[in-house]
Structure 1
Amino acid sequence: MHLLFIDESGTPPKPADEKHSYFVIAGLVIPEDRWPGLRDKLIGLKRASGYRGELKWRFFAPNNADSDNPMLGWEQAAKNDMRDRVFKIITEAKSCRIIACASEGRTAYGLGNVNSQDDLYFRTYKPVTERFQYFLQDVTRASGRDTYGIIVADHRGKGDDDSMRLRHERLIREAGKYTSDYANFIEGLFFSPSHLSIGIQLVDMVAGAIWRAQAHGDRTWYDRLRPSFRASSQGKIDGFGIVRFPKRDWQGDVLD
């Protein structure tokens, strides 16, 4: 079985926002037998580095002074070293894969069928579920054994979670008509508070790196993670490891 942990970076812009705002939902696929090793490595890194608390991308920003930031008082070089070691944990796990979707707000609202922040959130989430299904199909073909997966998302709040769970269930039930067939999914969408989930903390870092590359053109940490993205047999990431929504009339950079 494979676990897909998902988290977001950025905020879905409102329909009236005229700026080119980007929003990312990223997923980190972890096979069940690799989970204990990743957990132990991250816990060990935190202890060795004196990092006590939840791992979050925003804590690594040069000017972040949040009271709950475990790195208050750290030099930026020490923060970057910590971040590099976190990403090394991910990239050294060769069977783990990154899948994501980046949405371009103004272009998406121009479609006519995206009318709210909730619509944009779900339309960014949907391609991630599809690529997870494709990934599970690929593993099934390669291994000759049926391979299944579950999705674990960051807890956002009861109202948001309930809405997301219902839309996820509708997506799965209606699969095969206009969307992917989710034959390899187990149960529905699960939620976990990020401070209690090592997987959510790791994918929060992934989402932040992708958003930084897409929104600001800074590929420093995106390129560090590049070996772990799902890719085509020719090594192409666009459309395989990262989906653009909407692809048509996309005006920003194409990450590959």
Structure 2
Amino acid sequence: MHLLFVDESGTPSKPESVHQGYFVMAGLVIPEDRWSGMRDKLVGLKRASAYHGELKWRFFAPNNTDDDNPMLGWLPAAKNTFRDNVFKLITDAKSCRIVACASESATSYALGNVNSQSDLYFRIYKPVTERFQYLLQDITRASGSDTMGLIVADHRGKGDDDNMRQQHERLIRESGKYTSNYANFIERLFFAPSHLSIGIQLVDMVAGAIWRAQAFGDLTWYNRLRPSFRQSPTGKIDGWGLVRFPKAGWIGPILD
């Protein structure tokens, strides 16, 4: 079985906003037999680095002085070394894969069928689940035995969780008509508080790196993660490991 941990970075712009904002949802696929090893390595890395608490992308911002930031007082070089080691943990796990979707808000709302922040959230969740299903199909074909998957999302609040759960259920029910056939999914959608989930903490870092690259053109940490993206046989990431929404009319930079 493979676990897909999903989290987002950035904030979906409101429909009335004229700002072309970027919003990213990322998924980190971890095979069940690799999860405990990655957990132990991250716990060990935190301990060795005297990092006490939850891992979050926003804590690495130079101006982040939140009381709960474990890196208060750290020099930039120390932060970058720690972040590099976190990403090395992901890329060293050769069977782990990244699937993600990035959206352009103004371009998305111009479609006519995206009318709210909730609509936009769900529209970028769908391609992530589809790429997960494609990955499971690829592994099934290569191994000759069924490979199943389960999705774990960051807990955001009862109302948001209920809404996402309902949208997920609708997506699964309608599979095979206008979407992928999710034949390799187990159960439905699960939620976990980020401070209690190693997978959610790791994918938060992945989402932040992709968002930084998409919104600001800073490819430093995106390139660090390149080996772990789902790719085409020729090494293409765009459309395989990172989907653009909407693809038609996209005016921003294309990451590949």
TM-score (norm 2): 1.00
| Alignment-mate amino acid for residue 172 of structure 2 | I
CA RMSD of aligned residues (A): 0.3
Query: Which residue of structure 2 aligns with residue 16 of structure 1?
Result: 16
Query: Which residue of structure 2 aligns with residue 112 of structure 1?
Result: 112
Q: How does 1:145-160 map to 2 (within 5 A)?
A: 145-160=145-160
Q: Secondary structure at the match of 2:151?
A: strand
Q: How does 1:75-90 map to 2 (within 5 A)?
A: 75-90=75-90
Query: Which residue of structure 2 aligns with residue 38 of structure 1?
Result: 38
Query: Which residue of structure 2 aligns with residue 129 of structure 1?
Result: 129
Moved over 3 A (4+): none
Q: What percent identity do the matched residue pairs reach?
A: 79
User: In 1, distance between residues paired with 2:59 and 2:2?
Assistant: 29
Query: Which residue of structure 2 aligns with residue 189 of structure 1?
Result: 189
| Alignment-mate amino acid for residue 144 of structure 1 | G
Q: Secondary structure at the match of 2:52?
A: coil
The Cα of 1:19 is off from its aligned counterpart by 1.1
Query: Which residue of structure 2 aligns with residue 48 of structure 1?
Result: 48
Give the unaligned 5+ runs of structure 2. Answer: none
Query: Which residue of structure 1 aligns with residue 217 of structure 2?
Result: 217
Query: Which residue of structure 1 aligns with residue 74 of structure 2?
Result: 74
User: In 2, distance between residues paired with 1:226 and 1:47?
Assistant: 27
Q: Secondary structure at the match of 1:172?
A: helix
Q: How many residues align?
A: 256
Deviations 1:183-219 (A, max 9, x none): 0000110000000000000000000000000000000
Give the unaligned 5+ runs of structure 1. Answer: none
User: In 2, distance between residues paired with 1:59 and 1:146?
Assistant: 39
User: In 1, distance between residues paired with 2:17 and 2:81?
Assistant: 36
Deviations 1:132-179 (A, max 9, x none): 000000000000000000000000000000000011001001101111
Q: Secondary structure at the match of 1:249?
A: coil
User: In 1, distance between residues paired with 2:184 and 2:93?
Assistant: 23
The Cα of 1:20 is off from its aligned counterpart by 1.0
TM-score (norm 1): 1.00
User: In 2, distance between residues paired with 1:103 and 1:19?
Assistant: 13
Residue 62, structure 1, aligned to residue 53, structure 2 = no
Query: Which residue of structure 2 aligns with residue 5 of structure 1?
Result: 5
User: In 1, distance between residues paired with 2:252 and 2:202?
Assistant: 26
Query: Which residue of structure 2 aligns with residue 165 of structure 1?
Result: 165
Q: Secondary structure at the match of 2:221?
A: helix
Q: Secondary structure at the match of 2:238?
A: coil
User: In 2, distance between residues paired with 1:156 and 1:252?
Assistant: 29
| Alignment-mate amino acid for residue 77 of structure 2 | A
User: In 2, distance between residues paired with 1:50 and 1:61?
Assistant: 18
